[in-house]
Structure 1
Amino acid sequence: MPNFDDYTSSSAANSSERPVWMSGLDDATAKTWVRAIEAAEMPGLGDGPYQKELAELLESDSATQFTSLQRSGLWLLAGDLDRSHTISQDEGSSEGSFWHGIMHRREGDFGNAKYWFRRVGRHSILSDLSGMYPELHADADEFVDNVARAVRSGQIVDECLAVQWTEWQWLMNVS
């Protein structure tokens, strides 16, 4: 897994050594989560890989310190799309739709992913991703198409993974 990046979306500033979304955790708990995330494999563009250590941590009491949408994102990272889906489908917010769209994109239901990204509406993260990755993410629909193409052809996979990792980090900060 790549380390957490030191750049952030305009929607969430990060000036500490740990991600903004972990700012409410004590140092020991935050280190445990950072270590588990950094030890995990990069999540694929599709389903998996399953991250046992991260999934076990999500079952611990420390996971209750995160918002439900952050837990949805962490379940995606752990490779459990069903657990993520159970949470995100019940959230009516823009961020809930965003996580829902990511989950459907990863499961390969690209049309449904586009539907959920349309429900996100205008979101600063989508604009910021377009600015950072204009060749892959002019908008959410184009990125879904690029992921579908990468999954089918095996081309531009690393590039799509980089966008997805940035997307995940930024969305965790605002969820």
Structure 2
Amino acid sequence: MFISLPSFLASIEAGDPPPLSAPLRALWLDARGDWDGAHKCVDAREDKQSCWAHAYLHRKEGDLWNARYWYARAGRPPCEGPLEEEWREIAAALLAAEA
């Protein structure tokens, strides 16, 4: 099921999640203020997309050592830009991968 970024963002505002992969659900929950729920979505997963979302969550939490570990597992360099930009980059990339 293809979901555009605008539709994904609108679902966050509406509070009704569409069917989502674990890393997208993590981003959705994070955007709704549920960091713990978001972390549970990706904590036990080892695919690169989940590792990327996991890295973002630990960076947001301020646990930079742990974030660097998950960026490495995702095959990505650590992000140093604004968190909001990284969130949108991850969401756009994951949505495109599922298209």
Contact kept, 8 Å, 1:73 with 1:172, in 2: the verdict is no
Do the aligned partners of residues 110 and 93 (structure 1) sit closer, same or farther apart at CA in structure 2, a change above 3 Å counting?
Answer: same
Q: TM-score, normalised by structure 1?
A: 0.46
Counterpart residue number, 1:73 = 27
Do the aligned partners of residues 161 and 72 (structure 1) sit closer, same or farther apart at CA in structure 2, a change above 3 Å counting?
Answer: closer
Q: 1:35 aligned to 4, 7, 10, which one?
A: 10
Is there any run of 5+ residues in structure 1 with no aligned partner, and where? 1-19, 24-29, 41-52, 127-139, 148-156
Contact kept, 8 Å, 2:3 with 2:95, in 1: the verdict is no
Cα distance in 1, alignment partners of residues 86 and 24 from structure 2: 18
Counterpart residue number, 1:11 = none
How many residues in Structure 1 have an aligned counterpart in Structure 2? 97
Point out which structure has higher relative CO (alpha carbons under 8 A, 6+ apart): 2
Q: 2:91 aligned to 138, 157, 168, which one?
A: 168
Do the aligned partners of residues 69 and 165 (structure 1) sit closer, same or farther apart at CA in structure 2, a change above 3 Å counting?
Answer: closer
Cα distance in 2, alignment partners of residues 90 and 162 from structure 1: 25
Larger helix proportion of the pair: 2
Percent identity (aligned): 21
Contact kept, 8 Å, 1:72 with 1:87, in 2: the verdict is yes
Cα distance in 2, alignment partners of residues 174 and 71 from structure 1: 15
RMSD over aligned Cα atoms: 2.8
Q: TM-score, normalised by structure 2?
A: 0.74
Is there any run of 5+ residues in structure 2 with no aligned partner, and where? none
**2:33 corresponds to 1:110:** no
